[in-house]
């Protein structure tokens, strides 16, 4: 006779309620796993999905993700001329917050050379890549845009020609791809009042330097070169080229910082992602510990509730394995059923969750194993208590 | 041949100057078909004696023989006490102690299954036993849905499940009124007579005293007297 099963069947409501409660807690643990891994996946998504071998950034800078980096637009030409470099492309990257589709949305704009340059959208799920030099964009579906949609950024409207899925920056914000000139224009474009103020300031600076007003007016355009900078240059190596040697050459001769994709990844993980990952990891560990303690308590209480029955079983001569089996089965049933329900809840939560959730099968299995071990440990404690219960407890009033 | 033989059994708890002798050497025997009572006030040693003859506590000294098999002889004799208890002793508790998540029939069948009976065979025999106890119609009820008297009868059914030679009852009538207590006594007597089991009851319920064959009086840890009742004399019992 399966005593555990009989107990569960007779107290089904209580058992289901317990499983539901534990499952809700476990689902938070599972979602935390997803948030933790999603945070890392988001953080390195752009690095992993930009088909480049080297990232060249401003000297002494850890850019373009961890800190700002500004380089002259033309620098990509001298980098392209470096021995071992097959291709070098300018790359612009900045975060913006604008009204899109009627709501204020934060996104990161990527500007790249749309005519064969590096850094463009890798996987377009609908539509095509940008083919015109101006006013076309590829947007991630997270922005809620569809093909043919038009978005006003600054003074121009851009038409969505392609849609990506899961293209995000390190904060999980969706990406917008523009041609490099468009991206620079959106980034640096100033309104007329700001332009007038800047022009006036520069004019006064030239006059203070001794230039007559007429000459100062002619020199003025040379001082407004904001649009001529990029944030990084992406490099693809020639077949057989040594990345270390090429990087050293660029570092020594062109005075830029160079990172391989792996180094850029490390920069991101050790910098921007480190604190958030530590916080999420801590929360995850705490939640898991709390879950195990709660499961342990429930298993223990379930056993204590039956202690008189256990004493009776011992008194009427039931072998120890009958009692051990009853406790262990209930503990395993509780843990496994709770995890299964938690897994189902997780699947329900995922589609509507505002951040990227990344689940690793190994990690989910490890979480299950830890929970199961907790349940078994708790049942061992309960078994220890049950086996120490004297049968004479069943006697008397 | 007696079902139970108790020879010089004593129980001492603790050691040295903290030692307490809860039961002084007691000797008696109970035959099959006999209904005996262990009678005495609280602290008289009757519960200690019950634990000893239940094979739950090992006696400090003395010999216990059950169904012709020596279980203790100034120490264990190598008998698997728990299995032996399951096969030879049935228990009836004051609070019935039915397993709350098993039906009446399952409570009875459980003991049979623990003793190796198959599921169907145990269920059939449990139903028969509940019929013998006139409670077959409540076979599928959970203990919480049974009255006190019904629970007691199911508990008796469980005690009889493995057809034990010795049935031990701990205050079976204490929680019942005189009428229901009388019915339980009648049932215990019927079990003793029809099944030829030795039935020993721990009690301080003097209302039911006349229903027993033999009464073992305990006081301050000693077996002080043995009384043969009218019922016992009618049955022709000698002082054990």
Q: What is residue B234's predicted lDDT score, i.e. its pLDDT?
A: 67
**Partners of A55 in the beta sheet?**
A234, A259
Residue of chain A whose alpha carbon sits nearest to that of B142: A10
- Residue B237 has a pLDDT of 58
Cβ separation A397–B95 shorter than 8 A: yes
Asked if residue B38 is part of any domain, the answer here is yes
Q: How many domains does chain B have?
A: 1
CB < 8 Å to A14, chain B:
none
Q: A5 to chain B: nearest residue by CA?
A: B101
Average pLDDT, chain B: 85
Stretch B12-25: mean pLDDT: 86
Mark yes or no for CB contact B91/A316 under 8 Å. Answer: yes
Which residues of chain B have a CB within 8 Å of the CB of A390?
A: 56
**In this complex, is the C-beta atom of A7 within 8 Å of any C-beta atom belonging to chain B?**
yes
Beta bridge partners of A162: A127, A138
- What residues of B are in contact with residue A3 (Cβ under 8 Å)? 99, 101-102, 110
Q: Which of A82-86, A229-233, A298-302, B232-236 has the lowest mean pLDDT?
A: B232-236
Those residues of chain B whose CB sits closer than 8 Å to some CB in chain A are 47, 50-51, 54, 56-57, 82-87, 89, 91, 93-95, 97, 99-102, 106, 109-111, 113-114, 119, 142, 158, 170-171, 174-175
Inform me whether the pLDDT recorded for B123 exceeds 80: yes
Contacting residues of A for B173, CB less than 8 Å apart? none
Residue B85 with chain A: CB contacts under 8 Å: 315-317
ipTM of the complex: 0.81
Chain A, nearest residue to B143 by Cα: A10
List the end-to-end C-alpha distance of chain A, in Å, as a whole number.
28
Q: Residue A305 pLDDT more than 90?
A: no
Query: What was the pLDDT predicted at B235?
Result: 61
3-state SS, one letter per residue, for chain A: CCHHHHHHHHCHHHHHHHHHHHHHHHHHHHHHHHHHHHHHHHHHHHHHCCCCCEEEECCCCCCCCCCCCCEECCHHHHHHCCCCEEEEEEEEEEEEEEEECCEEEEEEEEEECCCCCCCCCCCEEEECCCCCCCCEEEEEHHHCCCCCCEEEECCEEEEEEEEECCCECCCCCEEEEEEHHHHHHHHHCCCHHHHHHHHHHHHHHHHHCCCCHHHHHHHHHHHCCHHHEECEEEEEECCCCCHHHHHHHHHHHHCCEEEEHHHHHHHHHHCHHHHHHHHHHHHHHHHHHHHHHHHHHHHHHHHHHCHHHHHHHHHCCCCHHHHHHHHHHHHHHHHHHHHHHHHHHHHHHHHHCCCCCCCCHHHHHHHHHHHHHHHHHHHHHHHHHHHHCCHHHHCCC
pLDDT-derived band at A366 (thresholds 50, 70, 90) equals very high
- How many Å lie between the alpha carbon of B64 and the closest alpha carbon of chain A? 18
C-alpha pair distances (Å), A256 with each of A39, A78, B82: 29, 11, 83
Among B55, B97, B109, B166, which would you mutate to test the A interface (most chain A Cβ atoms within 10 Å of its Cβ)?
A: B97
Of residues B52, B66, B153, B73, the one with CA closest to residue B107: B153
Which tens digits make up the pLDDT trace of B67-117? 888 989 888 888 888 888 888 898 888 778 899 999 999 999 998 998 888
- On the question of pLDDT at A149 being above 80, the answer is yes
The residue in chain B having the minimum alpha-carbon distance to the alpha carbon of residue A4 is B101
| pLDDT of res. A343 | 95
Question: A14 CB near a chain B CB, below 8 Å?
Answer: no
CB contacts of A329 in chain B (<8 Å) are none
Let me know if A227 is exposed, middle or buried by CB neighbors in 10 A (0-12, 13-18, 19+).
Answer: middle
Is some CB atom of chain B closer than 8 A to the CB atom of A165? no
Q: pTM for this one? A: 0.75
- Please say whether the beta carbons of B12 and B28 come within 8 A: no
Minimal CA separation from A15 to chain B, in Å: 13
A19-33, A113-127, A176-190, A212-226: least confidently modelled range = A212-226
Q: Residue A170: what pLDDT?
A: 82
Nearest to B148 by CA among B188, B184, B109: B184
pLDDT confidence band for A226 (50 / 70 / 90): low
Please check the confidence at residue A189 and state whether its pLDDT lies above 80: no
Task: Point out the residue among B47, B109, B142 whose CB comes nearest to the CB of A395.
Answer: B47
CB pairs under 8 A between A and B: 77
Q: What pLDDT sits at residue A233?
A: 93
pLDDT at B142: 93
Among chain A residues, CA nearest to B85: A317
Contacts of A305 in chain B (CB under 8 A): none
Q: Chain-centre distance of CA A1, in angstroms? A: 51
B82–A319 C-beta distance less than 8 A: yes
Q: Is A10 on the interface with B (CB under 8 A)?
A: yes
Report the mean per-residue pLDDT for chain A: 87
Is B236 a residue whose pLDDT tops 70? no
Tell me how crowded residue B207 is: count the other CB atoms within 10 A of its CB: 14
What local confidence, expressed as pLDDT, does residue A219 receive? 79
How far is the alpha carbon of B85 from chain A, nearest alpha carbon, in Å? Answer: 6
Q: What is the mean pLDDT of residues A361-378?
A: 90
**Distance of alpha carbon A20 from its chain centroid, rounded?**
29
Identify whether the C-beta of residue A342 lies closer than 8 Å to the C-beta of residue A30.
yes
Q: Which residue among B47, B84, B97 sits closest to A312, beta carbon to beta carbon? A: B97
Residue A62 in this model has a pLDDT that exceeds 80:
no
pLDDT tens by residue, A64-92: 877 788 888 888 898 999 999 999 999 99
A283 has a pLDDT exceeding 80:
yes
Least confident of A84-88, A163-167, A345-349, B94-98: B94-98
pLDDT of residue A344: 95
279-338 of A, contacting B, C-beta below 8 A: 308-309, 312-319, 322
Q: Measured between alpha carbons, how far is A88 from A116 in angstroms, rounded to an integer?
A: 11
Provide the domain limits for residue B33. Answer: 4-235
Q: Which residues contact B70 (CB under 8 A, 6 or more apart)?
A: B63, B64, B77, B79
Rounded to an integer, what distance in angstroms lies between the CA atom of residue A392 and that of residue A311? 7
Lowest mean pLDDT among A103-107, B42-46, B52-56, B165-169: B42-46
Q: Which pLDDT belongs to residue B239?
A: 52
Is the pLDDT at B53 greater than 70? The verdict is yes
A313/B100 touch (CB, cutoff 8 Å), yes or no? no
Nearest residue on chain B to A396, alpha-carbon basis:
B94
Given pLDDT bands bounded at 50, 70 and 90, which one contains residue B41? confident
Alpha-helical runs (H) found in chain B = 46-53, 81-88, 104-114, 119-132, 148-160, 178-195, 230-235
DSSP helix/strand/coil, B228? strand
For residue A351, report the phi and psi dihedrals to the nearest 5 degrees. Answer: -60, -35
Q: Which of A11-20, B84-93, B209-218 reaches the highest mean pLDDT?
A: A11-20
Whether residue B184 contacts residue B133, with contact meaning beta carbons closer than 8 Å, is answered with no
Distance from CA of A293 to the nearest CA of B (A): 26
Q: Cα separation of A37 and A341, whole Å?
A: 21
Higher pLDDT, A359 or B233: A359
Which tops the pLDDT comparison, B206 or A59? Answer: A59
CB B159 within 8 A of CB B91: yes
Q: What is the CATH number of the domain that holds B154?
A: 3.40.50.300
Give me B93's structure tokens.
Answer: 């508790």
Cβ-based neighbours of A280, under 8 Å, separated by 6 or more:
A32, A35, A36, A39
What's the CA gap between A237 and A175, in Å, rounded?
26
At a CB cut-off of 8 Å and minimum separation 6, what does B177 contact?
A: none
pLDDT band for position A56 (cuts 50, 70, 90): very high
A237, β-bridge pairs:
A85
CB contact set of A330 (below 8 Å; sequence gap of 6+):
A4, A7, A8, A299, A302, A379
Q: pLDDT at position B233, please?
A: 65
Q: Is the pLDDT of residue A143 over 60?
A: yes
Q: Is the pLDDT of residue B231 over 70?
A: no
Task: Find the angle CA(A272)-CA(A276)-CA(A279) to the nearest 5 degrees.
Answer: 150
Please tell me the predicted confidence (pLDDT) of residue B108.
92
**Does B230 fall in a domain?**
yes
pLDDT digits (tens, 9 = 90+) for A236-251: 999 999 999 999 999 8
């Amino acid at each position: 006779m399966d005593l555990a099963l009989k107990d569960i069947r007779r107290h089904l409501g209580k058992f289901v309620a317990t499983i539901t409660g534990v499952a809700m807690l476990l689902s938070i643990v599972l979602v935390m796993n997803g948030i933790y891994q999603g945070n890392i996946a988001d953080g390195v998504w752009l690095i992993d999905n930009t088909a480049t071998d080297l990232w060249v950034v401003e000297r002494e800078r850890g850019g373009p993700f961890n800190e700002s980096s500004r380089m002259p637009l033309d620098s990509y030409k001298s980098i392209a001329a470096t021995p071992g470099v097959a291709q070098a492309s300018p790359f612009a990257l900045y975060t913006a917050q604008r009204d899109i589709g009627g709501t204020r949305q934060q996104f990161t704009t990527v500007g790249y050379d749309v005519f064969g340059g590096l850094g463009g959208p890798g996987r377009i799920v609908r539509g095509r890549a940008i083919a015109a030099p101006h006013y076309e964009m590829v947007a991630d579906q997270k922005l809620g845009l569809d093909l043919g949609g038009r978005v006003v950024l600054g003074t121009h409207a851009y038409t969505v020609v392609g849609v990506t899925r899961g293209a995000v920056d390190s904060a999980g914000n969706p990406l917008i791809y523009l041609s490099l000139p468009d991206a620079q224009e959106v980034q640096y474009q100033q309104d007329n009042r700001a332009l007038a103020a800047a022009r006036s300031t520069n004019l006064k600076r030239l006059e203070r330097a001794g230039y007559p007003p007429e000459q100062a007016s002619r020199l003025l355009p040379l001082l407004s070169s904001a649009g001529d900078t990029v944030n990084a240059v992406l490099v693809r190596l020639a077949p057989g080229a040594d990345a270390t040697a090429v990087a050293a050459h660029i570092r020594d001769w062109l005075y830029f910082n160079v990172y391989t994709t792996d180094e850029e990844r490390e920069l991101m993980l050790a910098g921007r992602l480190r604190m958030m990952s530590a916080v999420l990891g801590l929360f995850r560990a705490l939640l898991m510990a709390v879950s195990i303690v709660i499961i342990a308590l429930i298993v223990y209480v379930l056993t204590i509730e039956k202690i008189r029955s256990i004493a009776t079983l011992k008194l009427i001569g039931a072998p120890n394995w009958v009692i051990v089996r009853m406790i262990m089965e209930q503990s395993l049933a509780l843990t496994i059923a709770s995890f299964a329900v938690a897994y189902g809840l997780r699947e329900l939560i995922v589609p509507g969750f505002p951040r990227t959730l990344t689940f690793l099968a190994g990690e989910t299995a490890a979480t299950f194993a830890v929970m199961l071990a907790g349940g078994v440990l708790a049942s061992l404690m309960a078994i220890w208590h049950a086996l120490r219960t004297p049968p004479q407890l069943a006697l008397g009033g | 041949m007696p079902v139970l033989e108790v020879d010089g059994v004593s129980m001492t708890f603790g050691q040295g100057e903290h030692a307490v002798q809860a039961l002084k050497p007691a000797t008696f025997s109970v035959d099959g078909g006999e209904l005996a009572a262990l009678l005495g006030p609280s602290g008289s040693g009757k519960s200690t004696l019950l634990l000893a003859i239940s094979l739950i506590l090992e006696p400090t000294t003395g010999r216990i023989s059950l169904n012709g098999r020596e279980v203790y002889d100034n120490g264990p004799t190598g008998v698997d006490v728990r299995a032996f208890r399951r096969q030879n002793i049935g228990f009836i508790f004051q609070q019935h102690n039915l397993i709350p998540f098993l039906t009446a029939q399952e409570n009875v069948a459980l003991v049979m299954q623990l003793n190796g009976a198959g599921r169907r065979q145990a269920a059939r025999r449990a139903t028969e036993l509940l019929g013998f106890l006139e409670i077959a119609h409540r076979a599928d009820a959970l203990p919480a849905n049974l009255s006190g008297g019904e629970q007691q009868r199911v508990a008796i059914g469980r005690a009889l499940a493995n057809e034990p030679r010795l049935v031990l009852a701990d205050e079976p009538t204490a929680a019942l009124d005189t009428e229901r207590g009388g019915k339980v006594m009648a049932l215990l007597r019927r079990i003793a007579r029809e099944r030829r089991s030795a039935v020993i009851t721990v009690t301080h319920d003097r209302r039911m005293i006349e229903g027993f064959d033999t009464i073992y009086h305990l006081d301050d840890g000693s077996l002080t007297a043995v009384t043969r009742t009218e019922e016992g004399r009618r049955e022709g019992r000698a002082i054990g």
